[in-house]
Chains A and B, each alone.
Chain A
Amino acid sequence: AQSVTQLDSHVSVSEGTPVLLRCNYSSSYSPSLFWYVQHPNKGLQLLLKYTSAATLVKGINGFEAEFKKSETSFHLTKPSAHMSDAAEYFCVVSDRNTGNQFYFGTGTSLTVIP
């Protein structure tokens, strides 16, 4: 069965310091993995996706994620946090066995301290 575990429900960082949001997944087949960001009372916006190409994926706003099959992980990173990065982040998995369904983690709330 497909599932996603976001290891931290809340992460706080100081502005200008690195961001690490952790995600582990479970998938029976070659997965597709996504990170989305959600600002308050808004929909989700795609940050980046992995679909069996390069294992290091670059996204928008300076975010990137690395697919590690041996660790079943897809952690999201950013070298330097900005105040505008404060939001909720969701890791999502799907694969060809799920048809067109996607499985969401419970989210990580990122706080950026000035």
Chain B
Amino acid sequence: DGGITQSPKYLFRKEGQNVTLSCEQNLNHDAMYWYRQDPGQGLRLIYYSQIVNDFQKGDIAEGYSVSREKKESFPLTVTSAQKNPTAFYLCASSIYGSDQPQHFGDGTRLSIL
């Protein structure tokens, strides 16, 4: 069954700690994305990748980092430099092209201890 898997579903971060959110897809999609969702603000783009070993910053990349070593995987690290990391994080993938819909994972909810 094809889809996107995000893990963990819930994650807690201590002050000064980096945490990594996992995103794996088996849809053979070239493009992958990370979004942050806060109440009343819709989805904001953190990073996106159109091809392996390449990625671009989105609108709110500060305090985050990514890697794209494999087509199937696009992990997001929330660093200690991100001062307000509490949010719902969504990973998506798509076939390359502005007319292609995105497929979303079920998200990871990150909270600060």
User: Which residues of B are found within 8 Å of A111, using beta-carbon distances?
Assistant: none
- Which of B43, B45, B105, B109 has the largest number of chain A CB atoms within 10 A? B43
| Binary B-proximity of A91-109 (CB < 8 A = 1, otherwise 0) | 0001110111110111100
Distance to closest chain A CB from B37 (angstroms): 9
Determine whether A28 belongs to the interface, using a CB cutoff of 8 Å to chain B: no
Interface string of B42-63 (1 = CB under 8 A from A): 1111001010000000100000
**B48 partner residues in chain A, CB cutoff 8 A:** 100-101
* Dominant secondary structure of chain B at its interface with chain A: strand
Q: Which A42-56 residues sit within 8 Å CB-CB of chain B? A: 42-46, 49, 51-52
Task: Give chain A residues whose Cβ lies under 8 Å from the Cβ of B97.
Answer: 100
In the bound complex, CA of A36 to CA of B48 (Å) = 19
Interface centre among B58, B98, B99 (most CB of A within 10 A): B98
Interchain CA distance A107-B101 in the complex, whole Å: 17
Pair B40/A34 contact, Cβ less than 8 Å: no
Contact in complex: A90, B98 (CB < 8 Å): no
Question: Would you give the shortest CB distance from B99 to chain A, in whole angstroms?
Answer: 4
| Chain A residues packing against B (C-beta within 8 Å) | 9, 32, 34, 36, 41-46, 49, 51-52, 90, 94-96, 98-102, 104-107
